[in-house]
Amino acid sequence: MRVYNFSAGPAVLPEDVLKKAASELLEYGESGQSVMEMSHRSKEYEAIIGAAESLLREVMSIPDNYKVLFLQGGASLQFAMVPLNLMRKNRKADFVVTGQWATKAYKEAKRFGEAVCVASSKDKTFSYIPTLDKAKFSDDADYFHICLNNTIYGTRFSSLPDTGDIPLVADVSSSILSEPIDVSRFGLLYAGAQKNMGPAGLTVVIIREDLIPEFADDSDVPTMLQYKTHSDNGSMFNTPPTYGIYILKLVLEWVKSLGGLPAMKELNEKKAALLYDFLDNSKLFKATVAGADRSLMNVPFITGSDELDAKFVKEAKAAGFVNLKGHRSVGGMRASIYNAMPIDGVAKLVQLMSKFEGENA
Ligand SMILES: *Cc1c(COP(=O)(O)O)cnc(C)c1O
């Protein structure tokens, strides 16, 4: 029996996608082979990666002057690749430090130049998005980095900073495909696939063409870490994560069939409202984030007692609601309710919480 999986990542995938993948596992189309066994240079595979890219472009309305790259190494490798490729003119970039991932991106960039923290919410365990003071922005920064949705702490930017001509770079690992996003506001977007797009092992980068630098032949930047290598070769400089890209294609077909990102947003807002409304009225459970910065994707909550938290997580697991334990740095619980979590799963979780409250408050 399948459970309701509230994991922050790798995370739940749409059941329709898994069934379709299962039906094609032994033989893809008329090819006589599994996608996993296929040459990435074959006609069949070229059609798969081509469809994945064009569907992503269509679903996200990605402008023509942006490249879509299918890479490996996770969002964590982008913490280094972004500065290696973009922090080159003034060797300086601005960072808003809103959580553990944003901190990692900020610290990694320090290896390559001057990383400036223009605002942080560390003082309150990253439970809010700090107000940004434009006077603190560096006017000579090569780029400005944010983490759009903070997976661990359950916050998100509900409006984007105005960085003028300075390219805005965003880690969108846990919010990509959850609602429409104006790609043209960004210089670069990156995301590990395992939250809202597919299995782990695939990383998607969307980069404005003019930001892809040329490197000299004797540059010390490794070939695989240059965006140009992947952009010049259609993400086929070496073997791409072929199966992950195939699953992404199925996920995108699923998103499109439901009405695309506007429909996802509507559904995700409904799911999040169910949970936040319950939390705001509960006598036992409490959300750790308040106000407009609340994430639609990751909802951390607590009872105030470590013992009751543990009891709830245990009872929930026994009832088929898994991976509700909060991140070790926050404690309590966290429900990640990505696109593939059905609204039914959230409604039933709320029922379970309500029952637990009745028995324990
Ligand atoms: C999960 C996550 C990461 C780390 O991704 P990896 O693919 O494991 O490197 C980075 N940033 C955010 C916002 C995440 O949610």
- Contact between 250 and 17 under an 8 Å Cβ cutoff? The reply is yes
For residue 332, the CA-to-ligand 1 centroid distance in Å is 20
Per DSSP bridges, beta strands 188-192 and 168-171 are parallel
pLDDT in tens, 164-193: 999 999 999 999 999 999 999 999 999 999
d(CA 298, CA 337): 6
Q: What is the CATH number of domain 15-257?
A: 3.40.640.10
**Ligand 1 lined by 147 (C-beta under 6 Å):** yes
Catalytic residue check, 101: yes
249: pLDDT strictly greater than 90: yes
CA atoms within 13 A on the CB side of 125: 11
pLDDT in tens, 307-316: 999 999 999 9
Q: How far is the CA of 148 from the centre of ligand 1 (A)?
A: 12
Cα distance between residue 330 and residue 16, in whole Å? 33
Catalytic option among 94, 142, 171, 293 = 171
CA distance 237 to 30: 27
pTM of the model: 0.98
Q: Is residue 329 predicted with pLDDT exceeding 90?
A: no
Which homologous superfamily does the CATH classification assign to the domain defined by 259-360? Answer: Aspartate Aminotransferase, domain 1 (3.90.1150.10)
> What residue ranges of the chain are covered by domains with CATH 3.40.640.10?
15-257
HSE, side-chain direction, 13 A CA sphere, residue 131: 2
DSSP characters for 304-349? S-HHHHHHHHHHHHHTTEE--BPPTTT-SEEEE--TTS-HHHHHHH
Range(s) of the chain covered by CATH 3.90.1150.10: 259-360
As a whole number of angstroms, the distance between CA 189 and CA 186 comes to 7
